Amino acid sequence: MKDLLHISAAELTELGIVDWGYTSETVPRSFEKFKKWLPDNGAKLPFMALEKNVNYRSDLKAWWPHARSAVVFLFSYAPAKKALLEEKQYRVAGYALGFDGEDYHTVMKERLHLIGRKLQEKYPLQFRHSHDTEAILERDLAYRSGLGWFGKNALLINRQHGSYFMLGSLIFDQELELETNSLSADHCGQCRACIDACPTDAINIETRTLVAAKCISTWTIEDRSAESPAPVGMEKGRGEVFGCDICQDVCPWNQKPIAHIKPQLGTRAREWMRWFERPFDEIANDVLPLTNRAYLRLTSGTALGRPGRPSFIRTLSFWMKKN
């Protein structure tokens, strides 16, 4: 990784960043693809379909009129993911325990702010940030910054770091004196490991997008209805209770980066892993007596509260019936 102006690569590494890329292209390359995807998928993810948000995604300038350039950072959760894989623990997606079990939004926001303020010490710039929070096509922004390609599993894949990372971006009101990496070529080749491994057949190979309604991640995190039936094929999964990493775990581009790092799971993340690895009925017994608000208190400070108690219980019941 290179230094970012006067911020050294070592300082960025301290913040959990493994690479960054710069672009002054404010218009996404795949907005038309997004618009084609929306009619069939927006119902399951209503926040994606809001008219205002669709317009924001068309151009960074539509979202923030002052936007002129952006730096996208890869915040790795590979060390935590490696620890989970070694424990054969698949019930919680790696990103949720990857920042010591803390809510990645909070952690990344703090770190992006720190970088933005440090840049302001030398440059009279204004910035905004996005870390799975704003209505912008974050993967496309990372693609334009030369950080990777869109895999057949729809994830942004980086040749050196695979895909076990979250994207965090700083968007600036001026262009910076930085070079843009060249755009990444597609390195999926003839591989179709993710398509064959996805238990619910959620990957649309032609468009490299997901059928949101079929994806386990949608059902276990975003679908807050206690009545929604599980996607067909869910029973072939690995006991996913929060999110799904199957199409990443089988990707050859994740094997090398994972082989070369030390597994690392912080104390809180390990406690959560232990909480989740118990029999499903034991977990349900912890959650059933709680009110919805008490459940939110239990998960507060983590990313785990997002589905809400009713749909979390619905997911646990699915696995209890299956076992």
- Least separation, in Å, of the C-beta of 167 and ligand B12? 4
Phi, psi of 216 (to 5 degrees): -60, -35
The contact pattern for ligand B12, residues 191-230, with x = CB under 6 A and - = no contact, is ----------------xxxx-x--x-xx--xx--------
Q: Which secondary structure element, helix H or strand E, spans residue 203, and what is its range?
A: strand 203-204
Which partner, ligand B12, ligand SF4, none, binds residue 73 by CB below 5 to 8 Å per kind? none
- Please report the sign of the dihedral spanned by the C-alpha atoms of residue 236, residue 238, residue 241, residue 244: negative
Residue 271 vs residues 100, 102, 132, 274, 319: alpha-carbon distances, Å: 10, 12, 25, 5, 21
DSSP code, position 243: -
Contacts of 81 (CB under 8 A, 6+ apart): 94, 98, 164, 245, 258
| Residue ranges in 138-157 that form contacts with ligand SF4 under rule CB under 6 A | 151-153
- Least separation, in Å, of the C-beta of 32 and ligand SF4? 22
Contact 142, 119 (CB under 8 A): no
Q: Can you point out the beta strands (E) in 178-248?
A: 203-204, 209-210
Among 1, 9, 15, 45, binds ligand B12 (CB under 6 A): 45
Which partner, ligand B12, ligand SF4, none, binds residue 285 by CB below 5 to 8 Å per kind? none
Q: Which of 59, 100, 103, 132 is catalytic?
A: 132
Among 97, 147, 244, 265, binds ligand B12 (CB under 6 A): 244
Active site residue 132: yes
Question: Between 85 and 251, whose beta carbon lies closer to ligand SF4?
Answer: 251
Query: Hey, how many other C-beta atoms are within 10 angstroms of the C-beta on 56?
Result: 18
DSSP code, position 220: I
Which partner, ligand B12, ligand SF4, none, binds residue 140 by CB below 5 to 8 Å per kind? ligand B12
CA distance linking residue 271 with residue 39, whole number of Å: 41
Among 244, 265, 304, 316, binds ligand SF4 (CB under 6 A): 244
| Residue ranges in 129-148 that form contacts with ligand B12 under rule CB under 6 A | 131-132, 136-140, 143
Among 30, 145, 254, 311, binds ligand B12 (CB under 6 A): 30
- Least separation, in Å, of the C-beta of 28 and ligand B12? 6
Q: Which secondary structure element, helix H or strand E, spans residue 20, and what is its range?
A: strand 17-23
256: which 2 tokens? 């090398």
Active site residues: 132
Q: Which residues bind ligand B12 (CB under 6 A)?
A: 29-30, 33-34, 37, 45, 48, 93, 95, 131-132, 136-140, 143, 150, 153-156, 163, 165-167, 207-210, 212, 215, 217-218, 221-222, 243-245, 247
